[in-house]
Amino acid sequence: MDPLILSRIQFGANISFHILFPAITIALGWVLLFFKLRYNASGDSAWMHAYFTWVKVFALSFAMGVVSGVTMSFQFGTNWPGYMKTVGNIAGPLLAYEILTAFFLEAAFLGIMLFGFRRVSNRIHTLATVLVAGSTTVSAFWIIALNSWMQTPAGFEMRDGVAHAVSWWAIVFNPSMPYRLVHMLLASGLTVSFLIAGLSALRYLYGDRSESMWKALRTGVFTAAILIPIQIFAGDQHGLNTLAHQPQKIAAMEANWNTGPNVPLVLFALPDEAAKENRFEIAIPDGASLVLRHSTGGVVPGLNDYPGNHPPVFPVFWGFRVMVGTGILMLIVSWSAAWFLWRRHSLPKPLAIIMVPMTISGWLATLAGWYTTEIGRQPWLVTGVLKTADAVGPVAGSHVALTLAVYLMLYVLLLIAYLGVLAHLALKAAKDGDTSPLPGVMNAALSQPAAGE
């Protein structure tokens, strides 16, 4: 068995599993802060109930993210030793800063968020929430900086086959970094808003009409409705940036074979790399030229310009379409729900039923987008610097196959358990409504009663 293919599948599986959880924690931290600030301002304990329902989801997602993240940090060494050997001088400091500036802060103050409500003053508890939310975002900043650098490297020079840093500013703020960061942060925001909206809709369907359910539902729906158009705009800008820096990726996303003007926007096709053409193509004439160049005569790069040097077309093309399709669905569902909540102060049952499976729509879009951009970088691991095939380690294929099989099994079981617990938490919250006791140290008074109590 080929260790390269197996190692790639294994890393793909690990990072796919891992990213699901940061996608939740990055934005959920800020939503928790919003709940906490609303509680501080109003003294309405329903906000605190919403906080404690969702801080559990945060803790669970954080734990899943940490354990899968530890796996990733080991995998650089076990499966991809060539990566750190070649670009360790660049990747190293970025990873180190992630651990130093963000990871510890999150882990230390999460304990206070979860269990410290009655142990520390209300102000310190709020501060802990701020620190956790801030540090998840800082963490994302460093990781996205590294990932963007791998896509569009800058600020370095090669000496004896090893990358050396020349300008840290250019490395961190490389050409695609701001676009990627904004796109990812918004993706996290959407993932969380649909998660909250979807699970609140589930509570609603189970007859829960408590204040904390309504507060969470409205927060999720309105956040989604506001973020989705911003995300569509940011995604378009990100696409233009990719066109400028990674044209072969755009060619694969559009399944466009020949460079030229008047390129159609392909809605459906089965790209065939051997024949260099699309089968069963349905397309809008001049569409791709219009979207990418804002003119029907705009020249769009084609795959035939990059023989042997472009990513596999099928997964990139379809990854992109699944992401965009999910995004459109998100727009329709969130705007409909927002309209009903705003104008009618109610949620029709059919819409609530649609929102339940939409709970994981953010995951679907994030993964599809992630595949588009990461597979779209192939055959390079670091564009123009290091090929994926040159980074793989000297491990026996059978070992990689064995570990891959166990990881896959573990991940599937954990995902089922995770979703099961989410559903269980939602149903338990639906049963308890606003009546469950607030956590902390039993029988101790809130250290600082909020206003109005």
Partner 1 sequence: MTFDWPTALPLIFAGLMGLAILIYVVLDGFDLGIGILFAAAGDAEQDTMIAAIGPFWDANETWLVLAVGLLLVAFPMAHGTILTALYLPVFVLLVGLILRGVAFDFRAKVPAGKKHRWNRIFFLGSATASLAQGYMLGVYVLGLDVGLGGMAFGALVALCLSAAYAAMGAAWLIYKTEDDLQKKAVRWLRTALVLTALGMIAVSLATPFASPRIFDKWFVWPQILYLSPLPILSALLFLWLWRQTFDLPKPDDRHAIRPFLALTAIFTLGFAGLAWSFYPYVVPDKLTIWQAASAPESLAIILAGTVVVLPVIIFYSFYAYRVFSGKATDLTYD
Nearer to partner 1, 110 or 333 (CB): 110
When asked if residue 56 is in the footprint of partner 1 (CB under 8 A), the reply is yes
Query: How far from 102 is each of 28, 58, 106, 114, 185, CA to CA, in Å?
Result: 16, 16, 6, 18, 16
In the window 370-389, what residues touch partner 1 (CB under 8 A)? none
Residue 78: CB minimum distance to partner 1, A: 5
DSSP result, 78-114: HH-HHHHHHHHHHHHHHHHHHIIIIIHHHHHHHHHHH
Stretch that binds partner 1, among 57-65, 324-332, 369-377, 379-387 (CB under 8 A): 57-65
Nearer to partner 1, 61 or 188 (CB): 61
Taking CB under 8 A as the criterion, the residue among 111, 161, 261, 379 binding partner 1 is 111
Residue 389: CB minimum distance to partner 1, A: 16
Taking CB under 8 A as the criterion, the residue among 2, 74, 237, 357 binding partner 1 is 74
CB 385 within 8 A of CB 153: yes
- Tokens 């599993």 found at: 17
When asked if residue 403 is in the footprint of partner 1 (CB under 8 A), the reply is yes
Q: What single-letter amino acid sits at 318?
A: W
When asked if residue 105 is in the footprint of partner 1 (CB under 8 A), the reply is yes
Stretch that binds partner 1, among 24-32, 103-111, 144-152, 187-195 (CB under 8 A): 103-111
Buried b (16+ CB within 10 A) or exposed e, 239-251: bebbbebbbbbbb
Stretch that binds partner 1, among 56-64, 292-300, 331-339, 342-350 (CB under 8 A): 56-64
When asked if residue 405 is in the footprint of partner 1 (CB under 8 A), the reply is no
Size of the site for partner 1 (CB under 8 A): 74
Taking CB under 8 A as the criterion, the residue among 32, 60, 143, 358 binding partner 1 is 60
Token pair in block for residue 37: 């600030």
In the window 155-194, what residues touch partner 1 (CB under 8 A)? 162, 164-165, 168
Query: How far from 369 is each of 228, 240, 406, CA to CA, in Å?
Result: 15, 15, 26
Residue 370: CB minimum distance to partner 1, A: 21
Nearer to partner 1, 34 or 103 (CB): 103
DSSP result, 162-182: EEEES-HHHHHT-TTHHHHHH
d(CA 383, CA 366): 22
In the window 416-445, what residues touch partner 1 (CB under 8 A)? 417-418, 420-421, 424-425, 436-437, 439-443
Stretch that binds partner 1, among 76-84, 176-184, 267-275, 378-386 (CB under 8 A): 76-84
Residue 379: CB minimum distance to partner 1, A: 21
Taking CB under 8 A as the criterion, the residue among 16, 40, 78, 336 binding partner 1 is 78
d(CA 365, CA 320): 9
Taking CB under 8 A as the criterion, the residue among 1, 41, 100, 284 binding partner 1 is 100
DSSP state of 304: G
Nearer to partner 1, 115 or 335 (CB): 115
Token pair in block for residue 243: 């066109």
d(CA 53, CA 35): 11
Nearer to partner 1, 312 or 397 (CB): 397
DSSP state of 121: -
When asked if residue 112 is in the footprint of partner 1 (CB under 8 A), the reply is yes
Token pair in block for residue 441: 């140290």
Query: How far from 6 is each of 68, 324, 404, CA to CA, in Å?
Result: 18, 29, 7
Nearer to partner 1, 174 or 256 (CB): 174
When asked if residue 412 is in the footprint of partner 1 (CB under 8 A), the reply is no
Nearer to partner 1, 222 or 418 (CB): 418
Stretch that binds partner 1, among 67-75, 244-252, 299-307, 371-379 (CB under 8 A): 67-75
Token pair in block for residue 115: 């269990």
Residue 335: CB minimum distance to partner 1, A: 33
Taking CB under 8 A as the criterion, the residue among 1, 2, 41, 104 binding partner 1 is 104
In the window 116-155, what residues touch partner 1 (CB under 8 A)? 116, 119-120
Stretch that binds partner 1, among 111-119, 177-185, 223-231, 310-318 (CB under 8 A): 111-119
d(CA 378, CA 59): 35
- Provide the mask over 79-98, with x wherever binding to partner 1 is found by CB under 8 A and - wherever it is not: --xx-xx--xxxxxx-xxx-
SS3 451: coil
DSSP result, 306-322: STTSS--HHHHHHHHHH
Token pair in block for residue 174: 């490389």
End-to-end Cα spacing for the chain: 66
Nearer to partner 1, 325 or 433 (CB): 433
Q: CA 78, 83, 88, 91: dihedral to nearest 10 degrees?
A: -100
